[in-house]
Structures are given as structure tokens and as C-alpha cells.
Amino acid sequence: MLSHIKVIDASTVLAGPSVGTFFAELGAQVIKVENPLVPDVTRSWKLPVEDSNSTVSAYFSSINYKKEYLQIDLRTEDGRSSFLALTSDADILISNFKSGDEEKFRITDAILRKHNPKLICGKISGFGSESDRVAYDLILQAESGFMSMNGTPESGPVKMPVALIDVLAAHHLKEGLLLALLKRAAKGKGTTVTVSLYDAAVCSLVNQASNYLMTGKVPERIGSLHPNIAPYGEIFKTKDGELITFAIGSDEHFRRLCAFLGCAELTTNSKFETNPLRVINRTELFDILQNKISEINVELILGEMLKQKVPVGKIRQLDEVFTDPSARQLVRQEMIDDTKTKRVTSIAFKWE
């Protein structure tokens, strides 16, 4: 649906390139521009099992898909001229240049729009356009509060296993760029959309932020538990040794779970009959439920809870996830530099 759109992706690492992939999957022509001497650093972010001589890595492949690749050295006059020519008929430019680089290379928004007044510029920074601080996802997880909440009392702060702040910032930039295309259709002029990793991170604190802002309660590390709901996130072991978790979001869910487990009396117990009480007494409740769940095999629990519409999930590793046909249909493949690459799609919505 965006086959008429040309995107220049001059960004590196995860957030910006994933935005480029998003537009490519929607049919846009996406040209990834890299410095010939210092290409996208994620090409070298390889697992020990990957080919050390390959020009691509699994990490790089995850957010670079359906793109054309071009090498331009902006430090040279020929490179600058090539870049200006490339953007002169483009619709969108995605970048995450270091502070001051646009001026150094003489490719500021004003200069670019002298050649192409309709150009939309999408920019990602770490801590805002006024900051020259180098930022990676880990640093934003640390500084925005996510690491302080993630983990257990015993583990200390823990980084999330995906670059979630990069992913969140990318989604904000996608939204901004799509709105910029609508604005251009109405006004006829390009605009600049900026997103900082810091703003994206803080804006994503949602209920944890409101818990603090409205009560002064600083979130503690409680593992997978939910501070407002119980049982929610507790990990239970079944009779056959599988691990499952429940998201009991209502009293009705709790009644149905207890009826299945044969402990309906808990629903009228003064310690457990309401969600606030269950949060207060969640440790005692866990022990009671675990004793019941340890006597039942996982498939029976999953099947019965599905019938009862009680939210339950088996904790699966990725090798289990990608045996599921629903997950496999989200995998996309292509050859990059003679290497067969795979990734999951950047598009989860469907059109009807």
C-alpha cells in the first residue's frame, strides 16, 4: 500500500532500522545508507555460533528486511552530493546521527529541504536533540526506571532480554511519520518528527508511573508478579513438571479457577475474597494453589482453563514458540549478501 513511497534509512542499530523495515514491509522502496568504512555496527553483533566472516548477523537481519543497500561516505564532497541527490526525490529520511553531525556533513533539514521541500525527516536520539550523550537501550532501561523494577529482591536490577526501549521508540516514530505523511498530503510540505529513547521509555511506564505519581509508592522488584493484581505472574509447577502462570484479572476468574482446582472455599475466605485482599495475602495464596496445581498435568489445566476463559499460559522457550503455526506465519526470510536470513515481521495488524 506504500509502493509510491521512497524511504532513505540512514540510521543504525535497532530503532531506526526497524522503522525502515516497517515501511519496506508495507511496500515502500527503502534504501539503507551505510558508511563504507564504518557500516551499521550490528553487522558485527554476532553469536559465537555465527560465521565470523559473514557481512551480516542475526541481529542485523532482525531489523533490516526488503531494503536496498548503498554505501555513501558523507565526509567526502562526492558522498555529500550523492546523499543530496538520493534525498531529492525521497519521501522520508530516517536517521540517528550524532549531535552535530548534520551540521558537520552539511545535511541539515533546511539544506535538505532546499532540494526537496516535501521531505519528511524522522530522527531518533538518546536523550533529546539538545543532548550529545551517547545512548544504548541498556542505558535507557537503567535511567528510565525499568531496570530498577525488573528482577527479584535477590537478583538486583535486571535488563530486559530484548531492546524494548528501542522497540518502543521505533513505534512512536512510525506513528509520527505516518501522521507526517497525512499532514503533507494536506499541506504539501515536509516536516520533522523527532523521538528520543528517553521520552519513549518514560511514556511507557504507564501504570507503574501512575502508581508512583498518585501514591508516592516506588515500585519494588517483585519478579513477574503484578503489584496491583493477584494471582498474576506467580509461576506454578504442574504434576508433569511444566511451568504455568495465570492472569487472574477479576473475581470471576478467581472463582472459576478455584472451582476447577477444588478449593471454592477460598472465594469466600476473608483473606482472598477480593483482589486487594489477594494482593496482601498472595504468598499464602500461592502455597495453597501450588499444592493443588502440583497434582494436575499441564494439558488438563490449559484445556479446562481455555473452556472456562480463565487466562493461563504455559511458559515456553523460543524453540517451543516457533513450533506453533501462528508464530511460524510471522517469520519472514530473504537473502542478504548471500546469507539466508530470517526475522519476525514488523507488522502485527491485519487488513480486512
Annotated catalytic residue, options 9, 40, 166, 199 = 166
Count of beta carbons in the 10 Å neighbourhood of residue 303? 12
Between strands 192-196 and 120-125, the pairing is parallel
69-78: Cβ within 8 A, 24+ apart: 69/31, 69/32, 69/34, 70/31, 70/32, 70/33, 70/34, 71/33, 71/34, 71/35, 71/36, 71/39, 72/33, 72/34, 72/35, 72/36, 73/35, 73/36, 73/37, 74/35, 74/101, 74/105, 74/107, 75/105
Burial of 240 (0-12, 13-18, 19+ CB in 10 A): exposed
- Residues 253 and 233: their CA atoms lie apart, in Å, by 14
Grid coordinates of 162: 530484548
Straight-line distance from the first to the last Cα atom of the chain, in angstroms, rounded to the nearest whole number: 14
CA–CA gap between residue 16 and residue 64 (Å, rounded):
10
Q: Is 251 a catalytic residue?
A: no
Task: Please give the positions annotated as active site.
Answer: 166
